[in-house]
Structure formats: structure tokens, C-alpha cells
């Protein structure tokens, strides 16, 4: 069984996001980038499935500029067998990404597509669903447990009422949640081996995909600065303060 895993290069989660002075976006130059944490979980799950013997090949894929090759090398160090880099400069919107990923999935004739449920840079939570729709294949989102059984995948996901478990026929698209697993720490020998693993480079044109810039960002602005809080010593002081603000 072949698994395709999408990995995205994002600003590291430890970096404090700063908005550009002109409001055209956030500052990305000169700040640390890393693999999207939810995609790390997807890659870890793919490796665990391979270690169980249910998966024979893991292919990592990403879309972006030359700097994204570093993210693919990280995926290869995790345990991916090879990687595909869809090279494209500048901003690429979600629908274009989904079309490109769907095209790679068809080209690779994979049986399962694992993606993080969302990317921490835009928190859109839409690429996996778009890919499933474009492929016209079953999807399972927010997976907290994945089991493969022949031509089916059994997925458990958390919902408001508890846990929901269902089965989907393969090929299928599954997006991963935080509780699925805890990604491993990469070891130096694996990082060195990753440098020798195959990495294929293609373009959107090679995949027959045309960019679809359907959304225009008008302005980016930081959240309003929170006002300073106040300390009260008694409940009576709290009530008086709330009354002064017109809250009670």
C-alpha cells in the first residue's frame, strides 16, 4: 500500500507573528520556519503504519518555493521513502494547492492520502476536504485513531458527544488531529540518510493545473491591544468595578 502525505512549510509555532507595516501580510523573512505541526502528525502516523507492515511506501509532497525542499528533507528524515516538490513561487491559494495535490495522488496511484487537519498559518481547515471532493473519494477528518484493514480504513474522531468511529473505503483522504500521536524526535543518522533519498521536482504545468487566484486579501491587521486588568481584594470591590463599567 502506498501512502501520500502532504507537508507544508510554515512559520514556526514558537515565533511571535508580526504584521507588516503596510498591512500586506505577516513578516516571513528572517524568521524560523518548520513543518506544520499537524502535518508532522500525519507523517508520524504514516511511518507507524509502515512499521506495522500495512504500508509499503510513503511519499511526501509539498508545494512552494525552493525553501520548501528543507521541509521535504525533514519528512524524509521522519521515514518517507521519497518526496515530490511542486515548485511554485509566490502565494498559492488553497484551491490551487488542492488541485495540485489531487493530481499527484492520481499520478502516484496511492491508496491513502494523509494531511494535517489544518495549517497553523491560516487555520483554514479546507485543503483535505477539497482534495477529497476533487478526487471524488471518501474522507475522514480530525482523526484521533487510524486502522487499516485491507481495502478499508477505520477512523476514530472526537465529536462533541464523545468518540465517533466509522469506516471508509480506500482510496481515501484522512486529516489528522493532535491526539492521533506524538511525532518522534529526529535522529542525526536519519537526517543524514534523508539527504540521499530521491526528491522529484515538478511544476503546476507538469500536473496540468492552472493557478486559481479567487480570493484577494484586502488588509492584514494585528488584534487590538488588550487593556490592562485590575486587581480587587474583595467581592464587594469586584461588584462595584463591574457596575462602574456597566456590566452588571
CATH assignment, 2-222: 3.40.50.620
Per-residue confidence in pLDDT tens, the chain, 248 aa: 999 999 999 888 888 888 888 877 777 788 888 899 999 999 999 999 999 998 999 999 999 888 899 999 999 999 999 999 999 887 788 888 999 999 999 999 999 999 999 888 888 888 999 999 999 999 999 999 999 988 899 999 988 888 899 899 999 999 999 889 999 899 999 999 999 999 999 999 999 988 877 778 788 888 888 878 888 889 988 998 888 888 87
- Do 33 and 11 meet the contact criterion of CB atoms below 8 Å apart? yes
- Do 168 and 139 meet the contact criterion of CB atoms below 8 Å apart? yes
Domain map (residue ranges) of the chain: 2-222
Long-range contacts of 194-197 (CB under 8 A, 24+ apart): 194/73, 194/74, 194/76, 194/77, 195/73, 197/76, 197/80, 197/81, 197/82, 197/83
Instruction: Report helix angle 69-78 to 37-51, nearest 10.
Output: 30
pTM as predicted: 0.83
Amino acid at each position: 500500500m502506498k501512502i501520500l502525505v502532504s507537508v507544508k512549510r510554515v512559520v514556526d509555532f514558537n515565533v511571535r507573528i508580526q504584521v507588516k507595516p503596510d498591512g500586506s501580510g505577516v513578516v516571513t523573512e528572517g524568521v524560523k520556519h518548520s513543518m506544520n505541526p499537524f502535518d508532522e502528525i500525519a507523517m508520524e502516523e504514516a511511518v507507524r503504519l509502515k512499521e506495522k507492515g500495512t504500508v509499503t511506501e510513503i511519499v511526501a509532497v509539498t508545494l512552494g518555493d525552493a525553501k520548501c525542499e528543507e521541509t521535504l528533507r525533514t519528512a524524509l528524515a521522519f521515514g518517507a521513502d521519497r518526496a515530490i516538490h511542486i515548485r511554485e513561487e509566490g502565494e498559492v491559494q488553497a484551491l490551487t494547492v488542492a488541485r495540485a495535490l489531487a493530481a499527484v495522488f492520481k499520478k502516484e496511484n496511492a491508496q491513502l492520502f494523509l494531511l494535517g487537519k489544518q495549517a497553523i498559518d491560516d487555520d483554514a481547515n479546507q485543503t483535505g476536504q477539497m482534495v477529497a471532493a476533487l478526487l471524488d473519494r471518501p474522507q475522514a477528518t480530525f482523526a484521533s485513531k487510524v486502522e487499516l484493514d485491507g481495502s478499508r480504513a477505520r477512523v476514530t474522531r472526537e465529536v462533541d458527544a464523545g468518540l465517533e468511529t466509522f469506516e471508509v473505503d480506500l482510496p481515501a483522504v484522512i486529516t489528522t488531529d493532535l491526539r492521533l500521536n506524538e511525532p518522534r524526535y529526529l535522529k542525526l543518522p536519519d537526517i543524514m540518510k534523508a539527504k540521499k533519498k530521491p526528491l522529484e521536482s515538478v511544476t503546476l504545468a507538469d500536473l496540468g493545473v492552472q493557478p486559481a487566484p479567487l480570493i484577494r486579501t484586502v488588509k492584514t491587521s494585528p488584534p487590538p491591544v488588550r487593556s490592562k486588568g485590575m486587581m480587587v481584594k474583595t467581592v464587594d470591590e469586584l461588584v462595584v468595578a463591574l457596575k462602574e463599567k456597566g456590566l452588571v
